[in-house]
Amino acid sequence: MIRAHIGHGVNRERFRAVTTANVARTPEWALLSPELREAVNVVSTVLPFRSNAYVMRELINWDKVPDDPMYQLTFPQKGMLEKEHYETMWSLLQADASRELIEKEANRIRLELNPHPAGQMTHNVPTYNDGPIPGVQHKYRETVLFFPSHGQTCHAYCTFCFRWAQFVGVEGLKFANNDIELLVAYLKDHPGVTDVLLTGGDPMIMSTKVLRRYLEALMDPELAHVQTIRIGTKAVAYWPQRFVTDPDADDLMRLFEQVVDNSKHLALMGHYSHPVELSTDIAQKALLRIRATGANIRMQSPLIRYVNDDPNTWADMWRTGVRLGAIPYYMFVERDTGARHYFEVPLVRAWEVFQGAYQRVSGLARSVRGPSMSTFPGKVHVLGVSEIDDEPVFVLEYLQARNPRLVRQPFFARFDPKAVWFDELVPATERDRAFFLKPKPSLNSIPLTIESNLIV
Ligand SMILES: *Cc1c(COP(=O)(O)O)cnc(C)c1O
Ligand code: SF4
């Protein structure tokens, strides 16, 4: 096994978030035109904004701003708010309105932006001793999702993120759990669960000490059936220092080794949006170090207009990933929330991008599946476009489903060149109706606000 000894004697850059409060003091602010600065100030009153010096210095190409993909991914753009919303917030800032008034208007607009994507308010929350376990989702038989309460923020925010509501703290939208004991008790009762997925926000925002508490609890001898621990993270792209030069990076590597020595498969589900995220020395060192612990890295991301809506971008990303030892996993379709009108790509275009990229890479990168929509009944995979009785149809399948019997059976929807999400599709034939399930009211009473599509 390769042992990477990196992180000693190198420049240790400490993490510092860039937000609306301090962005004007960064060296890059001077590179933005007055219009672009205004857009950052206005849009960030409603949608969350967070960046950091590494993203700004190494990943954004300021010569290409505003079209640069990493700028689009991390900086608020004027088009992300509806014109009327933009003007409202612009006027308030112009008039030097009070914080209270700005916050009140911002909240009113936020509630119009579908903060609970796909209507997932009450589904998938499991119970233990008759009580719900908040911060846990059990949707598919084998896999339990856990949202550690200490991991609900990120090293930078993606402008498209469907978890935006929790970052701006809209009342009642937070969903996280501190109670690892309850999760462990639940897992002991459910020997069919093989996978636990820590997600967020970004669990890698946690210090190694805090993360250790969670992971050690999952190494309980009575949880031998939990074979796989996945950690969804964008830190590999936004703050690779976490794995290389942060003060507790070495401890983190020892912790990963401990999980692997415990006979578990440890997988970092790396959220990579663009090949530039893999281009820096430190991002490559991070991958090398993680792999040296015996952990695996998989790559997944949504397809986002202006960021990665082009086959070459994905082919390049998967190829580079494979070279560095990351395994291409999913391409997702962007969810219906926040600034989706700005980022959305028609399903047919998503399929073309996927197919174009897939055709350009070798078999080792073809472990990837997509484009995939995380919908109420399951993960719907767009396989392509075909014809039934001379009528064009989408060919679809479930990669994951609440009802496991639906998985991997091709089914058909009427072709619609404008459709961007599953709920706009209609069954092509009578037989296909069984695949179009609608949510039923749930028995669980606690509000569930985050339906993960595992992009981190
Ligand atoms: C995608 C997903 C999973 C994991 O599915 P895999 O196909 O095993 O990666 C688990 N739970 C939810 C809610 C998901 O969306
Ligand atoms: S997509 Fe992931 S990394 Fe990006 S803001 Fe959302 S939770 Fe954070």
**Ligand 2 lined by 165 (C-beta under 6 Å):** no
Give Cα separations from 175 to 152, 181, 278 (angstroms).
9, 17, 31
Q: Which residue has the least CA distance to atom 8 on ligand 1?
A: 143
Q: Tell me which ligand sits closest to the C-alpha of residue 343.
A: 2
Q: Which residue has the least CA distance to atom 3 on ligand 2?
A: 234
Q: Which residue has the least CA distance to atom 4 on ligand 2?
A: 158
The predicted structure's pLDDT at residue 284: 98
Ligand 1 centroid distance, CA of 369 (Å): 13
How open is the CA angle 255-364-309, to the nearest 5 degrees?
90
The predicted structure's pLDDT at residue 449: 34
- Nearest 10 degrees: CA dihedral of 25, 81, 375, 229? 0
Which atom in ligand 1 lies closest to the alpha carbon of residue 330? 9
Ligand 1 centroid distance, CA of 180 (Å): 20
How open is the CA angle 24-89-340, to the nearest 5 degrees?
90
> Do the Cβ atoms of 61 and 166 come closer than 8 Å?
no
233 φ, ψ (degrees, to nearest 5):
-150, 145
To the nearest 5 percent, what fractions of the chain are helix, strand and coil? 40, 20, 40
The whole-angstrom separation of Cα 289 and Cα 292 is 5
Which atom in ligand 1 lies closest to the alpha carbon of residue 451? 13
Give Cα separations from 442 to 141, 210, 337, 438, 445 (angstroms).
17, 33, 22, 12, 7
Q: Tell me which ligand sits closest to the C-alpha of residue 452.
A: 1
Low-confidence ranges of the chain (pLDDT < 50): 1-9, 118-121, 171-173, 442-456
Q: Which residues pair with 397 in a beta bridge?
A: 381
The label of the residue with tokens 């599946």 reads 369
Ligand 1 centroid distance, CA of 374 (Å): 8
DSSP H or E segment with residue 35: helix 34-43
Of 50, 72, 163, 205, the one to substitute when testing ligand 2's pocket (max ligand atoms within 8 A of C-beta) is: 163
Residues 256-302: pLDDT tens digits? Answer: 999 999 999 999 999 999 999 999 999 999 999 999 999 999 999 99
Q: Which residue has the least CA distance to atom 7 on ligand 2?
A: 201
The whole-angstrom separation of Cα 415 and Cα 393 is 4
- Could you state, in order of their start, the residue ranges of all structural domains in the chain? 17-113
Closest of 20, 153, 49, 47 to residue 110, by C-alpha:
47
Give Cα separations from 203 to 211, 234, 243, 329 (angstroms).
8, 9, 13, 19
The predicted structure's pLDDT at residue 455: 33
DSSP string, 217-269: HHT-GGGTT--EEEEEESHHHH-THHHHTSTTHHHHHHHHHHHHHTT-EEEEE
Q: Which residues pair with 152 in a beta bridge?
A: none
The whole-angstrom separation of Cα 91 and Cα 397 is 48
- Nearest 10 degrees: CA dihedral of 363, 372, 445, 230? 20
Q: Which residue has the least CA distance to atom 6 on ligand 1?
A: 400
Give 36's contacts (C-beta < 8 A, 6+ positions apart): 65, 66
* C-beta atoms surrounding 72 within 10 Å: 26
Residues 310-360: pLDDT tens digits? Answer: 999 999 999 999 999 999 999 999 887 677 889 999 999 999 999 999 999
Ligand 1 centroid distance, CA of 94 (Å): 45
Ligand 1 centroid distance, CA of 136 (Å): 13
> Do the Cβ atoms of 197 and 269 come closer than 8 Å?
yes
**Ligand 2 lined by 271 (C-beta under 6 Å):** yes
Q: Which residue has the least CA distance to atom 14 on ligand 1?
A: 453
The predicted structure's pLDDT at residue 203: 96
Closest of 185, 247, 258 to residue 222, by C-alpha:
185
The predicted structure's pLDDT at residue 117: 61
The whole-angstrom separation of Cα 137 and Cα 146 is 7
> Do the Cβ atoms of 89 and 102 come closer than 8 Å?
yes
Q: Which residues pair with 250 in a beta bridge?
A: none
How open is the CA angle 61-306-354, to the nearest 5 degrees?
115
Please report the sign of the dihedral spanned by the C-alpha atoms of residue 372, residue 76, residue 336, residue 169: positive
Which atom in ligand 2 lies closest to the alpha carbon of residue 232? 2
User: For the chain, how many helices (H) and strands (E)?
Assistant: 15, 15
The whole-angstrom separation of Cα 62 and Cα 71 is 8
300 φ, ψ (degrees, to nearest 5):
-150, 155
Name residues contacting ligand 1 (CB within 6 A). Answer: 137, 139-140, 143, 145, 374, 379, 399-400, 452-454
